[in-house]
Amino acid sequence: MRRVLSRTAGMCAVLLTATLAVAPTANAAQPPSGKITTLAGNGLAGDPNGDGGPAAQARIDTPSGVARDAAGNTYVTEYWSSRVRKIAPNGIITTIAGNGGYGSGPDGGPATKIPLLNPFGVVVDAQGNVYFSDAGDHRVRKVAPNGVISTVAGVAGTIPPGGNVGDGGSALVAKLNGPTGLARDGGGNLYIADTNNNRIRKVDPSGVITTVAGTGIAGNAADQLNHPHGVAVDGRGALWIADTDNNRVLKGTAVVEPGADPLPYNHPKGIAVDPGGNVYVADTGNNRIRSISFMGRSRPFAGTGSPGFSGDDGSATFATMNGPVAVFVDTTANVVVADQTNNRVRAIAGQPLITRIAGILGKSNRSGDGGPATSAEIGVPGGVAVDKFGNVFFGDDFADIRKITPQGVISTFVRGGTNRAGMAFDRNGNLYAAEGDSTIRRYDTAGSSTVVAGKPGVAGFSGDGGPATAATLGYPGNLTVDNAGNLYIVDTNNLRIRKVDTNGVITTVAGDGVAGPGTDGVQATASHLAFEGAWGWKSGGVAVDSKGRIYIADVANNRIRRVDTNGVISTFAGTGQYTEQGPNLHGAQATAIDMGTAYDVKVDAQDNVYFPALSNVLKVGGDGVVQVVAGVGRFPGDRVARNMYPCLGDGGPAVLADLFFPEKFTLDAAGNMYLPACNVIRKVAAS
C-alpha cells in the first residue's frame, strides 16, 4: 500500500481544478528586485547621437518602447526623434529605422533611409523581424532582417472618421489611430493598442485584422477602454491591457486592482509577462514598475514612486525613475524599462529562476524512464539529495528511488522497498535513506543497500552508545552527513536528533524525548523538541555547518535551533510564535520573525542557513538577517487563493513562485536548490 509522504499529497490534483477571482495583496517586506543599470542614454534630450559607440554614452530621445530578441539585442523606439535603435549585447548602439526626418516614409527600401512619425511600441518575432508602431503615421511597420521596411497594418496618414475601422479584412487597408503598444503571442498573432480608437486589435498570421477588446468609445465599462497604451499576452493566452486613461490594468475584461499597494495605478502605459506568468506594469504616473504574480499579488518592483534619476548599480526597488512608459521581460527574467523622461533605457538583472526539472504537475505515476524527466510522471516525492556529479535522487510514494541526470534524463535507481522520508550523500558518493521500516540504509552507486542504523520493522528508542545497527529508531525522517562523514538523523517519533559516527556508534545529540517548548542555554540533550506540525504531519530537519554546529528544524516550536560544538542549544531563528499574518520577513533579524512551521533546514558551503517558512524559503547569513530566496509567501485570505495555484510560477523568478507548503528540499554544491512537491521536482538557480 502506498503511504502518503507529504501532507500536501492528494491536494494538488484537486486544487489544480479550482477557479476563483481574487484581489491582489501586497507584501510590506518583499525581497528587493535585481540590480538596475543604465543600458542606454546619457540623460540628455535632443537629437540622438552615438551610433557605433557605447549605448550608455549615446543620446536617447524620449524612449517609448523596448523589446529584446533571442540573441540579446535590445530595441528601443525614440518618439520625438522618430528612430528605432538597436543595442547589441556588447553595448554598441545603432539605428535600424528612421533617418532623423519627421514624416511619412515609403515602404520597400532601407528602413534607415526614410522618415518616421513618432514610433512608440516595438516587438520582435522569432525570425528577427522588428515591428514598431509608427504612431503619428497611424500604422504598424516591419523591419525585416535585411533592413527593408514594410507596413503590416494601417493606412499611412489616415485617421478613421469613426464607425468602420476595417475589421474582418486585410490589416493593410484597416484604419488605426495613434497605435502605441504591441505584442505577439505563440500563434504568430500581432496585437496592437489602437490607442485613439480605444481598442485592442489583432492581426492574425494571414493578415486579417479584428478588434479583440474595446468598443471604440472611450469609457470605463467592462467592455470599454480609454486610450490603452500597453498590451501583452500570457502563456495561457490571456490578454493583459494597460488601460491608460482609466488608470487600470485589465486581464481580459477583469480589472486587476493594486490591492494593498498604497497607490492606485496612475496612467499605466506599458505591460509585459514573463514565462512564469508574472506581469510587469509600467505605472507611468507613479514613476515605477509594478509586478503582479500569477496569484494576483501586486508589489512595487522598481522605482520608489518619486520622480528622479538615481539608484544605478543598486536594487531597482530603491532606484528612482521618471515617467517609465514601457517594460519588457526576457526569458531569464531580465527586465528592460523605457525610462522616458530620464531619456534612458534601464536594465534590471533577473533574479534566480524556478524551473520544473521532473514530473508533471498533479499527475502521479511510474513512467518516463530513459526520457526527459519533465515528460515523466512521478509519485509524490519525499526525500531528495544531489550527488557530487549533479545527479538528483528522490524517493516517492511508490517506494522507488529515481534519478535525474544533469542532462535531464530520468531513470529508476531502486525499485520498490519502503517509502523514504529523508536522503543524503556522503563524500564518497554513498546515498543514505531513511526507510519506512525505521532503518537507515546506505546505497552504493550500483543500488545495493546495507542497513547502517536501526532494526528493520522495529520502531522504538534504544541503543545509544552502542552499534547503530543494534539500536532502534522511531520512523526516522530527514538526514545529513557532515564533512567528517558522521550521519545525523531526525528520529521523528523519539523527538531526538541521533548521530552515527564513522565507527558506527549511535548517540543522541539533541532532544530529551519529550515534546514541548525547548529551553535555550542548556545541553541540547536536556531540551525538548517538537516535530509534529500542522494536520499531525511529523517532520523535522537537521543540518551541520563547516564548524560542526548542528541546526534543527524544531517544527511545532516554530523555530530553528542551533547546537554549538559545546553541546549547548539556542534559538537561531524564530520567536516561537506561529503566524500566517505576513510574511514581513525580508530584512528582519532571524530571531525576531514569526515564521510559522519550518519542516526542514539546510546549510550551504558558506554556512548560510536555509529553511522554509510561510511558503517561502528563507536564507540567513552570518549577520543574522533574513533573505527571502524563494516563494511568494502566504497572506491573510490566501488559503482559497493558494488552492487555485499550487506549485505554479515555473519559468519566472523564484521569489514570485508558489511553493505550496515546502517541507523538504536540498542544496547542491553550487548552491542550486531542489524542491519536491505536487508530483514535481523544482529547481531554484543559485543566486
CATH code of residue 580: 2.120.10.30
Q: Are residues 323 and 374 in the same domain?
A: no
Report the pLDDT value the prediction gives residue 60, as an integer from 0 to 100: 95
Report the pLDDT value the prediction gives residue 294, as an integer from 0 to 100: 74
Report the pLDDT value the prediction gives residue 261, as an integer from 0 to 100: 63
Report the pLDDT value the prediction gives residue 585, as an integer from 0 to 100: 76
Report the pLDDT value the prediction gives residue 416, as an integer from 0 to 100: 86
Do residues 540 and 478 lie in contact, with contact meaning Cβ atoms separated by under 8 Å?
A: yes
Classify residue 537: in a domain, yes or no: yes
* Residue 451 DSSP label: E
Would you state the cell numbers that stand for residue 317, as one nine-digit string?
A: 526597488
Q: Are residues 440 and 576 in the same domain?
A: yes
Instruction: Work out the number of other CB atoms within 10 angstroms of the CB of residue 171.
Output: 26
Classify residue 7: in a domain, yes or no: no
Question: How many angstroms separate the CA atoms of 103 and 110, rounded?
Answer: 15
Classify residue 307: in a domain, yes or no: yes
Number of Cα atoms under 13 Å in the Cβ half of residue 568: 5
> What are the CA-CA distances from residue 431 to residues 21, 83, 420, 445, 455 (Å)?
45, 60, 12, 8, 19
Classify residue 104: in a domain, yes or no: yes
Would you state the cell numbers that stand for residue 166, as one nine-digit string?
A: 476595417
Q: Tell which of 330, 348, 366 closes a domain.
A: 348
**Cα torsion 469, 472, 473, 474: sign:** positive
Question: How many angstroms separate the CA atoms of 662 and 678, rounded?
Answer: 10
* Residue 14 DSSP label: H
Q: Are residues 74 and 197 in the same domain?
A: yes
Report the pLDDT value the prediction gives residue 639, as an integer from 0 to 100: 47
Q: Are residues 585 and 610 in the same domain?
A: yes
Q: Are residues 343 and 411 in the same domain?
A: no
Classify residue 28: in a domain, yes or no: no
Which residues pair with residue 552 across a beta bridge?
Answer: 542, 561
Classify residue 304: in a domain, yes or no: yes
Question: How many angstroms separate the CA atoms of 41 and 87, rounded?
Answer: 11
Q: Tell which of 324, 348, 372 closes a domain.
A: 348
Classify residue 103: in a domain, yes or no: yes
Residue ranges of the chain whose pLDDT lies below 70: 1-31, 161-163, 259-262, 295, 534-536, 580-584, 634-646
List the alpha helices (DSSP H) in 380-521. none
Q: Tell which of 301, 331, 348 closes a domain.
A: 348
Angle at 194 between CA 342 and CA 249, to 5 degrees: 65
What is the three-state SS of 543-591?
A: EECCCCCEEEEEHHHCEEEEECCCCEEEEEECCCCCCCCCCCCCCCEHH
Residue 272 carries which side chain, given as an amino acid letter? A
Q: Are residues 369 and 331 in the same domain?
A: no
Question: How many angstroms separate the CA atoms of 398 and 377, rounded?
Answer: 12
Do residues 84 and 77 lie in contact, with contact meaning Cβ atoms separated by under 8 Å?
A: yes
Q: Are residues 326 and 401 in the same domain?
A: no
Look at the chain and report how many structural domains it folds into: 2
Of 228, 243, 124, 234, the residue nearest 185 (C-alpha): 234
pLDDT tens digit string along 181-235?
A: 999 999 999 999 999 999 999 999 999 999 999 999 999 999 999 999 999 999 8
Place of cell 547569513: 621
Query: Mapping DSSP to helix (H, G, I), strand (E, B) and coil, where does residue 426 land?
Result: coil
DSSP state letters, 166-190 = -TTSBGGG---SSEEEEEE-TTS-E
Place of cell 550523500: 425
Residue 1's contacts (CB-CB under 8 Å, 6 or more residues apart) are: none
Residue 101 carries which side chain, given as an amino acid letter? G
Sheet holding 496-500, edge to edge: 479-481, 487-491, 496-500, 506-510
Provide the domain limits for residue 387.
Answer: 12-16+354-684
Instruction: Work out the number of other CB atoms within 10 angstroms of the CB of residue 23.
Output: 15
Q: Are residues 539 and 490 in the same domain?
A: yes
